[in-house]
Amino acid sequence: MKMKTAQAMVEIMVKEGIKTAFGIPGAGINPVYQFLDKAPIEHFTMRHEEACVHAADGYQRAKHEIALAICSQGPGATNFITGLYSAFIDSMPVLAVVGQANTTQLKQEPFQCVDMPDMVKTVTKKAWCVMKPEDLPGIMNEAFYLMREGRPGPVLIEMPLDVQNAQFDFDIDSYVPREVPVVKPNLDEIKKAVAMMKEAKNPVIIMGGGCFIAECTKEVVELAEALNVPVITTYQAKGGIPEEHPLNAGHVGIQVGQPIGNKIFLDSDFVLAIGNRFSDRHTGALGVYRGDRKFVHINIAPQQIGLVFQPDLGIVSDAKLAVEALLAEVKAQGVKFDAENTKKLPELRKQLARKTDYDCAPMMPHRVFQEVNEAFDDETYFTAGCGITQIWGGQLQKINKPCKYLPSGGAGTLGFEVPAAFGVKVARPDCDTVTVVGDFGLTFMGEEIAVATAFKKPIIVVVVNNAYLGLILQNQKGYGFEYGVEMPYNQDGTIDYVKLGEAYGCVAERVFSPEELKDALVRAKASTKASGRPYLIDAICIKTQLCDMGGAINAIASKAPQD
């Protein structure tokens, strides 16, 4: 039967499982909106196009369900790029749909015409411009397949206006979503990995963010327990093993790493790395990181094996299937370790924990995270963007369940925090959703607090207000100068974040001491549940406190006072 292309697109989205959309209507995409209005897809109108993608990204991270980000053409569409990059580098599937001028005008430089597929080709798995109505079903079929296949990621579909309005023969019953193949491990390689491990004295397991995507954190912990070896988590896998689990060895890294993680890793001689990328913030100086250790790297994407350095053995596989195969082989061979480092882990966690119980006012940022840790339960979701606040969050927040701490990891995007938290709250309305953001970072996409207010999705925003670009200050000090990073007006009342929050519909307050913050967090939890309105807490902190970091995992400089 005859059907408008715009209608066919929406019907395919529904059949592929799209239930939620984050978008901004516009003249270049309104034909699709006409049919979204009639579809069983809940739509949230955002305040900035970049936020549409971040919200869809946050929704995916919290629910493991693809959402739609949709907007018009031109500068609206180009605003998608940062969000697509953030989702792409963290392997998050997002369906991005943007409008376009008529196909007959594409070479004439019409109003708001820009070649989006060409612009986003490095930050999507693939992008298309639908030039003919009959091409749409095949394009969407491939798009949904690519988002889910292998290493997941976003795609973009550009829809010229005349194509949206054109009619063609289409029956939704003829559309069949493609099955995504499961990548199974080579069992000979699994046996080889276990044989290599048996030769080690101090092996460790690295749990990467891919274990969240494959939903196999439980199996990784079970493998570690069978072997009796420590589990080190990457930043993206924070919460994959409970904080007090006897085998939890914390994070490794030169910024968001923890002293215990770096120590246990440096003492290791064999590394089983599962679903990670060996990113530079994790490894630091490669010579130190690699040392004389043997590495087995498991990743679903073949191009990730050897991308940073060549492991001794690479296994291309779905993480869950690989871990299950390893567990079966380990049990069959009765492999179990009795390393001294493993025995010492519970005590080492206490000895090497960073200090957070500072009582001063203005507050040490570390104390903000202590109060946040104590205020919220294990079902709470957190989002994080970038900067020194993100680093403190990675170092100091205690997360006991997978997929509860949801940061912009690979991109480190200022502006991810608030819209991603909104997307999480849409996905998980019954759980507290919190973003801890710097005072500067809040001004990137902070307008999306108004969206949370409008739709009664009460997120909690904790502002670590140090009136500085803290991480850039720390970087500049390495060069011996300071310029353009002080923002005294963020604390002296010139710029008032309480009034900003209130203008966006928040309940908001400013606090100066740990006791005030503790009480404010209690009020925030009660208020959001009672009123359905977001809550913003402006926590005034010491201005120039730096974070622990370094260029190599054996050379992390401590910057916080220890007494």
Across the 563 residues of the chain, what is the mean pLDDT of every consecutive 10-residue run? 96 98 97 96 98 98 98 96 98 98 84 90 98 98 98 98 97 96 96 97 97 98 97 98 96 96 97 97 97 98 97 98 98 92 91 96 97 98 96 97 97 97 98 98 97 98 97 96 96 96 98 98 97 97 96 95 80
Between CA 559 and CA 512, with CA 259 as vertex, the angle to 5 degrees is 45
Tally of CB atoms within 10 A around 298: 31
Phi, psi of 94 (to 5 degrees): -135, 135
Amino acid 225: pLDDT:
97
| Contacts with 9 (C-beta within 8 Å, 6 or more apart), sequence order | 32, 35, 97, 136, 140, 157, 159, 164
The amino acid at residue 104 is: T
Distance in angstroms between the alpha carbons of the first and the last residue of the chain: 76
CATH fold match for the domains 187-352 and 365-540:
yes
Domain 2-174 belongs in CATH node 3.40.50.970: yes
Amino acid 108: pLDDT:
81
Taking alpha carbons only, the member of 46, 59, 135, 138 closest to residue 95 is 59
Q: Burial, 181: exposed, middle or buried (Cβ in 10 Å; 0-12, 13-18, 19+)? A: exposed
What's this model's pTM, rounded to 2 decimal places?
Answer: 0.97
Amino acid 341: pLDDT:
82
Tally of CB atoms within 10 A around 13: 24
Q: Burial, 240: exposed, middle or buried (Cβ in 10 Å; 0-12, 13-18, 19+)? A: buried
**Domain map (residue ranges) of the chain:** 2-174, 187-352, 365-540
Amino acid 142: pLDDT:
98
Helices (H) and strands (E) in the chain, counts: 23, 20
Distances from the Cα of 348 to the Cα of 175, 206, 258, 282, 343, angstroms: 57, 18, 12, 21, 9
| Contacts with 238 (C-beta within 8 Å, 6 or more apart), sequence order | 251, 394, 397, 399, 405, 407
The amino acid at residue 235 is: Y
Beta bridge partners of 245: none
**Axis-axis angle for helices 259-266, 340-352 (nearest 10):** 160
Residue pair 80/51 in contact (Cβ under 8 Å)? The answer is: no
User: How do 155-160 and 126-129 pair as beta strands?
Assistant: parallel
What is the CB-side half-sphere exposure of residue 204 using CA atoms within 13 A? 29
The label of the residue with tokens 């299950």 reads 324
Structure tokens belonging to residue 326: 């390893």
**Superfamily of domain covering 187-352:** TPP-binding domain (3.40.50.1220)
The amino acid at residue 254 is: I
What does the alpha-carbon distance between residue 127 and residue 121 come to, in Å, rounded to a whole number? 6
**Strands lying side by side in the sheet with 20-23:** 42-45, 20-23, 68-71, 95-100, 155-160, 126-129
Residue pair 404/435 in contact (Cβ under 8 Å)? The answer is: no
Structure tokens belonging to residue 512: 């100066």
Domain 365-540 belongs in CATH node 3.40.50.970: yes
Amino acid 113: pLDDT:
81
